[in-house]
Amino acid sequence: MNFYLQLLGIVVILSFLEFKIINNEKQVLLFVKRGFFPCVFLCCVAGVRALKVGKDNYSYSRYFLKMTFERVHFFNPSFHWIYNLWDLIIRQFTDNVFVFNFCCAIVIYIALYFFVTRYSFDERVSLVLFITLGIFFNSMNQTRQALATAVLLFGFKYAVEKKLIKAMVLCLIATFIHNVAVVMIPIYAFICLAQRIGPRTVAFFSGASIVIALGYNRLIGIFVSIFPKYKYYLKYSKLFVERRSIYRYADFFMALILQIVLVYGLYKLKLREVNEIRNGEGGENNTNTANDDFGNILACMNAVYLCMTYLILNGDIFNRLKSLFVYWVLLTIPFIIKKYFSDNWVIKVLVCVVSIAYMWRLGVHDGDGVIPYKAFFDWEDVLF
């Protein structure tokens, strides 16, 4: 675990690096944002990992080596054919599994970079949370889902911009990489088609999440009937009993607190906006409306995440979905700090310190098999 603490320190240091290259006409030729160097560093770390880092890493490597044209199963949704095609394309150039891992890491961290730099109110906090919340661990183990999520992160841009066709195309591509991405099709479609994401939409998502949570047994039966290959995930556990899964309770309470703060804060912001309009001080109304809409989108995504964190307290089958929606927590926490706590740096430090304690707990119960970390080569041979 010490390696990941050192990695976290390097990411924090690199996140302070930001510069612009400007010509004589003061036109920006190159703008390197704060998230660039941390994402490049994390991409390299994930790309050069040994096969034993990640329980599924070895299986994905063997799958890659066995990939042939006949195994792609073009346009067959039962065989995640786009992922197979990705394997086949790389396989045409190399049979080195470490090159394959590095190619996957490049896609994942390009998506993360644009996702964070476009929508996070503090890239440093988002990148710290990416590591401390265990997303970095999952991405090194669940390669296929991480690739599908990367495509969905690209698609989020089009969902926010109300570009339905582009968003749906990327959702379908992600679905043919990993089945878990199918849940984003109705969500992205709803965001695109809704004229405005307002408080009623947040209430709808929150209510729907409650209904899903209460109808857990029926829902899990429907899910397994549609995807019978996930039947082995049916491992039931009693609420607040298993000590080995205590980090799951942290997920649930974190999501619950975020949702309460989000909904209450958005209500207060809306109330303040109405008062400003009544007093004739609504000059920045368009900006406030855009921020409110984005905050409402985050509240909707967090409502689904809250639902998933509750469901995995009862069984493992929804853990994959929780791993998908946790990406929006990277945006939600900086949004809350910026909007409700005036971008207070003390709050930022406190959040990061608490999340490090969470990461340490993940290390004690390493479910992804990524601890200890080891590169596929010997560092001493390279450096000395």
Of the candidates 216, 178, 244, 179, the residue with the CA atom closest to the CA atom of residue 308: 216
For residue 23, give every residue at least 6 positions away whose Cβ sits within 8 Å of its Cβ, in sequence order, or none. 29
pLDDT at 286 over 60: no
* CB-based burial label for 376 (10 Å; 0-12, 13-18, 19+): middle
Which comes out higher in pLDDT, residue 137 or 358?
137
pLDDT at 382 over 50: no
For residue 294, give every residue at least 6 positions away whose Cβ sits within 8 Å of its Cβ, in sequence order, or none. 119, 160, 335
The predicted pLDDT at position 58 comes to: 84
Q: Which residues pair with 236 in a beta bridge?
A: 315
| Structure letter (DSSP) for residue 19 | E
Q: Which residue has the tokens 């409110």?
A: 292
Most confident of the following: 19-28, 81-90, 133-142, 316-325: 81-90
Structure tokens that stand for 170 in this block: 């990327």
**High-pLDDT (> 70) share of the chain, %:** 79
CB 242 within 8 A of CB 300: no
DSSP H helix total and E strand total for the chain: 18, 2
| CB neighbour burial string for 159-169, b if at least 16 within 10 angstroms, e if fewer | bbeeeeebbbe
What is the enclosing helix (H) or strand (E) of 171?
A: helix 164-175
The predicted pLDDT at position 82 comes to: 93
The predicted pLDDT at position 202 comes to: 83
pLDDT at 130 over 90: yes
The predicted pLDDT at position 244 comes to: 45
pLDDT at 356 over 60: yes
pLDDT at 165 over 90: yes
Q: How confident is the model at residue 242 (pLDDT cuts 50, 70, 90)?
A: very low
**How many angstroms separate the CA atoms of 208 and 201, rounded?**
10
Q: Which residues pair with 375 in a beta bridge?
A: 49
**How many angstroms separate the CA atoms of 198 and 290, rounded?**
11
pLDDT tens by residue, 228-238: 766 655 554 44
Question: Average of pLDDT values for 64-70?
Answer: 89
pLDDT tens by residue, 6-49: 888 999 999 888 877 776 677 766 777 888 999 999 999 998 88
pLDDT at 135 over 80: yes
